[in-house]
Structure 1
Amino acid sequence: MPQLVFSGKQIPPLEPASLRLESVVWPPGQSPSDALPPNRLLWGDNLAIMSALLPQYEGKIRLIYADPPFFTNRRYRARVGRGEDSRKPETWRLAEGYADRWASLDDYLAFLYPRLVLMHRLLAPNGTFYLHLDWHAAPYARVLLDEIFGPKRLINEIVWVYHGPSPIKRAFNRKHDTILMYAKGDDYMFNVDAVRVPYNPNTVATFRSSPKAGFGKVPDLARGKVPEDWWYFPVVARLHRERTGYPTQKPEALLERIVLASSQEGDWVADFFCGAGTTAVVANRLGRRFLCADATQQAIQTSRLRLMRGQAAFAVEADQQLYRPPQPFPAEWTPAVEDGWVSLPQAALAQAEGWEVGYWTDGVFYSTAQAVRAPRATEPPPARLPWKEKNRTLAVRLTALDGAVWLWQG
């Protein structure tokens, strides 16, 4: 079997991250308990994160979706301003997103290869792996996955087609990504009926009008058809309702199809390049448990806020080397507490992407009520939240538009 040879191709010694519990989020209506929620959002280099997860999760994850850097040699910024003119990028308020810059293709592949190997180890024997790339690196990644999984484990090469403006003038516009779908074993899950789509109206009319259509076979038109291996979903553009401002955010519809096809309720779903948190949001909505990680604080805070909008229960953990305690509230942000309600002043709300009430114990924030700004909204989040934990000392956490975290303790 052909193998890809490049400088630095090796599996480095495993150095597990020392994970520190940073916060626990219990949505309204769920009482905090001593047991942590199963869902985990993890901040740190995913090679160290996955190494730390191996003792508990090796061979147990039903579905892994990976959306790594694409080898574009670009630096991506996150838009964190509100009410800005989309036609004037020079006026946008920006924060660090992530860097996709490499000294060489060898360096990129040396980064990707050991992570693919660890994801294969974490995948269940009947699990499915989806690797999302584009023309820059997909051909090389397919050779690597053939080595790791075996060439017969390739199930589909999926093409995600989309539209959008392009500055290209000397080639056809590049408007698709490639998603490589591999199974770890023969008994992988594929929920065919969960992903059926309606037939095209023209196809329905043809079948109904001609007895010879479909080579003499009449399909179940009401049941729908299995999608082809090219998918059209709109990108999360500047005015898209799901838009967070985090760069290269993927649409929920894309992940919904993947999660429905290759997992069932209660299964573990993982994404170790989680970015804006789309995989976690979809997995939670569909009743799956999730493990999601990213190396940047901006990604973790973006994912955390989206999960709070979806009323997920989850724990946030950080590599001890990266963890930084929240900053104390400025005096003008001091909350008011009255009759079981906590209110924030406008000075704080104007800076808030979201805020929470809860309690602070042993360096961990336990969130019991949350308020999050609507996506792309210029209006601040709601100003009041209930406080019911009368036997605990109140704490308030605020996540700013730029991802910074602030804490007030009563």
Structure 2
Amino acid sequence: MSHDHPVLQWKGKQAVYPPPLQLVQSALVLPEEHPELNGSRLIEGENLAVMSTLLADFEGKIDLIYVDPPFLSGKSYRVRTGRKEDSRHPENWKTAEGFQDEWRNRADYLNMLYSRLRLMHSLLAETGSLYLHLDWHAAAYARVLLDEIFGPDRLLNEIIWTYHGPSPIRSAFKRKHDTLYVYTKSKEYTFNADAVRVPYDAATVKTFSSPKAGFGKRPDLARGKVPEDWWYFPVVARMHRERTGYPTQKPEALLERIIRASSNSGDLVADFFCGSGTCVTVARRLGRRWLGCDISPLAINTTRRRLLLEPEAGGFGVWVGRDRQEHHALHPKIEITAENLNVEARLTNLEPEALIALEFDWDFDGHLFRSRAQSIKGWRQETINTRLGHSYPRAGNYVVAALAVDAEGQTGLATERVQVG
């Protein structure tokens, strides 16, 4: 392939495309009040294989991709799962494994990123955009890779997200920004300037409001302005209402601006490193269809919990790669009482304080779990309700299934047969 722009080379450079894997639907999540489905999917699996598989149905069909991949930081990250712990003593925190960002060398990291960016380019619609979120560790390399894959003329913006926070650095300026590269698939792309306007600052309003300002054309002060390419949003701090405990969680306001600007209602938004689920949560709230993928069961269950805490936004499917053996580490039991067509199911054999989510399928077919009732622990709740009730439309013999999830992302499935009517 010939280029008229610089191309990054490294030893062993290659784009790896694994064979498609079989994706199996493991659950349908149907909130009781808003069970509507729009094709949105939460997928547990290795994202390179998942994207290869999605090409068959989604090539050229995704309107917006946001990804927040590993940063080449050389660190491993853990998820905080405890509550009311002393923030001054992290050595005493209760945690679970989050994700690894450690690499043998830069070549391994670049091969990882290169292969995935090429697949994302194929999945994007002609009017689609990619937002790649990195920091100083790898942003310079990524810019050259994106120029190679998309073309340098497809760079729409280099956005700087600035934030505050403590820093131990004393020998250099403190690093307090991330970089987001925005590339479009073609010259015809979605950008909704009016959807992301912000108020002018007080000094600008004062200047242009004065009849003595002397400017020829005044801006529409009431309309506001399109943001510049440097953005300030606070990080998700320890006591923030959005806080999930998942490392490197990004603020909802950041994703809301991106999704409003570069997609429309009903468009398909994807995040293939979905982590704590900020992107898909905001996309769902804004009326977009979405695809979320992560290799970590803990990330998938954190995202699922977050989505279920907003049941009014509708239902979604949960999928898993056939290569990932389903394993239930928890062993719940169900006790059921029935009266006429009404039942009450109570989960036993697990401590309620240890659980973050409990979902029920009132008519389990033994294959696809249809989550029709949910008890979800809020981020500051102590425990969850382990008793849920249901009224059947007709007499019959039913299998009730309960799916329990704990703070470490471990799951357990219990079933019990009941005769009603």
Please list, as runs of the form range in 1=range in 2, the aligned pairs for 1:149-188 lying within 5 A after superposition: 149-188=150-189
Question: In the alignment, residue 90 of structure 1 is paired with which amino acid?
Answer: E
Indicate how the Cα distance of structure 1 residues 153 and 221 shifts in structure 2: closer, same or farther if over 3 A, else same: same
The aligned counterpart of 2:104 is 103
Contact preservation (8 Å) 1:66, 1:272: yes
Q: What code does the residue aligned with 1:119 have?
A: M
Percent of pairs with identical residues: 51
2:200 alignment counterpart: 199
Answering whether residue 340 of structure 2 is matched by residue 329 of structure 1, we say no
Q: CA deviation at 1:88?
A: 1.6
Deviations 1:312-335 (A, max 9, x none): 4111111112231434634xx544
The alpha-carbon distance between structure 1 residues 231 and 180, as it changes in their structure 2 partners (threshold 3 A), is same
In structure 2, what is the Cα distance between the partners aligned to 1:37 and 1:193? 26
State which drifts further: 312-321 or 256-265. 312-321
Q: TM-score, normalised by structure 2?
A: 0.92
Distance 1:256 1:31, change over 3 A: closer
Moved more, 166-175 or 7-16: 7-16
Decide which of 352, 356, 361 is 2:355's aligned counterpart. 352
Taking a change above 3 Å as real, the CA distance of residues 408 and 142 of structure 1, as seen in their structure-2 partners, is: same
Moved over 6 A (4+): none
* CA distance in structure 2 between the aligned counterparts of 1:348 and 1:245, rounded to whole angstroms: 21
Match of 1:318 in 2: 320
2: CA distance between counterparts of 1:389 and 1:285?
Answer: 31
8 Å CA contact retained: 2:334, 2:415: no
Q: Distance in 1 between matches of 2:241 and 2:382?
A: 15
1:361 counterpart SS class:
coil
Provide, for residues 34-56 of structure 1, a one-character-per-residue CA deviation record: whole Å limited to 9, x for no partner: xx750101111111000000010
* Unmatched runs of 5 consecutive residues or more in structure 2: 417-421
1:399 aligned partner: 405
Q: Which one-letter code corresponds to 1:126 in the other structure?
A: T
Structure 2 counterpart of 1:133: 134
Distance (Å, rounded) in 2 between the aligned partners of 1:397 and 1:132 = 34
Does structure 1 conserve the Cα–Cα contact (< 8 Å) formed by 2:17 and 2:115? no
Shift of 1:364: 2.5
Q: Decide whether aligned partners of structure 1 residues 87 and 4 sit closer, same or farther in structure 2, where only a CA change above 3 A counts.
A: same
In structure 2, the partner of 1:373 is: 377
The answer to whether the 8 A contact 2:40-2:317 is kept is yes
Distance 2:289 2:19 in 1: 25
Amino acid across the alignment from 1:384: R
Q: CA 1:335–1:175 in 2, change beyond 3 Å: closer, same or farther?
A: farther
Native 8 Å contact 1:65 1:131 kept in 2: yes
Cα distance in 1 for residues equivalent to 2:415 and 2:349 = 19
1:11 matched to which residue of 2?
15
* Matched letter for residue 398 of structure 1: A
- What is the deviation of 1:402? 1.0
Unaligned 5+ segments in structure 1 are none
Cα shift readout 1:8-44 (whole Å, capped 9, x = no counterpart)? 2212243112212121100112458xxx750101111
Q: Answer yes or no: is the 8 Å Cα contact 1:273–1:293 preserved in 2.
A: yes
For residues 320 and 386 of structure 1, what CA distance do their matches in structure 2 show?
A: 33
Aligned residues: 403
CA-based RMSD of the aligned residues comes to 1.8
Whole-Å separation in 1 of the counterparts to 2:337 and 2:72: 50
